[in-house]
Amino acid sequence: MDDLVVIGLYRHGITTDNERKAFSGWTNSVLSETGKKELQLIQPLVPSYEKIIASDLQRCVDTAGILFPSSSIDYWPEFREMNFGLWEGKIHQELEHMEEYNAWINDPFSSPLPEGESFQQFGSRIRTAWEKWLDDLAHHQLTRAAVVTHGGVIRCLLTEFAPEQKKFWEWKAENGRGYELTGSLSALRRGERCISLRAVPSTAKSNG
């Protein structure tokens, strides 16, 4: 495989909305002080890449700036989180009395989000963004690149392209961390799965 590529998928750091457990899809929430400090601790462990792109929402913009301080970063709105519509910025306790909210909680993959994206719309947007990203890698002949994005986006991509098949919610997507997918670029562009996956950054400690 002479067209092997490595693609990093990183979730933004902890935000103020994460801390209060609020729905934050297209809401432009910001990194909390804890989130910034954790990213600064992780930064020396993050691998290098030839090109970095990020969701255009502030939490991803700021995360990319901390994790990749010497890189030029492009911002792609296509890699935003799901749009939660009328539930943006709200917490569970503010919504639990609503019938349509409980229907969505019980079946998020087919129940509608009022004035937001359906799961199908979200998945279609992310697949289109992914295909555009792979085209960009091919055009610029890149072998190592990374995306700073959101938890739902990472789970969506891993569900479709990780070598091990898992359901959406079975994938972990921790703040400030992510995964590296390795595979043939031509195979990925055909919609095939990658050949290997590893968590990044590696925090393994030496036994020496």
Band (15; pLDDT cuts 50, 70, 90): very high
Band (91; pLDDT cuts 50, 70, 90): very high
Q: From residue 182, how far is each of 25, 85, 121, 141 by CA, in Å?
A: 28, 34, 27, 15
Band (2; pLDDT cuts 50, 70, 90): confident
Band (203; pLDDT cuts 50, 70, 90): low
Mean model confidence pLDDT for the chain: 94
**Does residue 44 lie in a domain region?**
yes
**Does residue 53 lie in a domain region?**
yes
**Does residue 168 lie in a domain region?**
yes
Q: Work out how many domains the chain is built from and give that number.
A: 1
Please write the tens of the pLDDT for every residue from 102-160. 999 899 899 888 999 999 999 999 999 999 999 999 999 999 999 999 999 999 999 99
**Does residue 83 lie in a domain region?**
yes
**Does residue 206 lie in a domain region?**
no
**Does residue 208 lie in a domain region?**
no
Per-residue confidence (pLDDT) for residue 83, from 0 to 100: 96
Band (24; pLDDT cuts 50, 70, 90): very high
**Does residue 139 lie in a domain region?**
yes
Q: Of all residues in the chain, what percent carry a pLDDT higher than 70?
A: 97
**Does residue 205 lie in a domain region?**
no
Give me the CATH number covering residue 176.
3.40.50.1240
For residue 141, give its domain range. Answer: 4-200
